[in-house]
């Protein structure tokens, strides 16, 4: 399934003039506009910490 997903993502990237860095089946990040890497990193880290809080509150 992962090779097929890699092919689909690669085809989509060709349509949007971008490139695939890695496909691992866990994360999807897309950026159109002025999103910086540091802002994306902060967002992902925040999501990870929120996931941990939800798991401990159950």
Q: Residues 20-52: pLDDT tens digits?
A: 888 887 776 666 666 777 887 888 888 877 666
Q: Which residue segment(s) compose the domain that 33 sits in?
A: 2-57
The label of the residue with tokens 């910086």 reads: 36
Whole-number Å distance between alpha carbons of 2 and 50: 27
- 25: alpha, beta or left? (left if phi > 0; alpha if psi -120 to 50): left
Whether 19 contacts 13, CB under 8 Å: yes
Query: What is the predicted pLDDT for the residue at 58?
Result: 54
Residues in the chain: 58
Query: What is the predicted pLDDT for the residue at 23?
Result: 81
Whether 36 contacts 50, CB under 8 Å: no
User: Does residue 6 carry a pLDDT above 80?
Assistant: yes
Number of domains composing the chain:
1
pTM, to two decimals: 0.42
């Amino acid at each position: 399934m992962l090779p097929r997903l890699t092919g689909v993502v690669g085809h989509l990237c060709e349509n949007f003039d971008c490139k695939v860095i890695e496909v691992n089946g866990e994360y999807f990040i897309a950026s159109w506009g002025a999103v910086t890497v540091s802002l994306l990193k902060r967002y992902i880290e925040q999501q990870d910490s929120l996931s941990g809080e939800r798991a401990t509150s159950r």
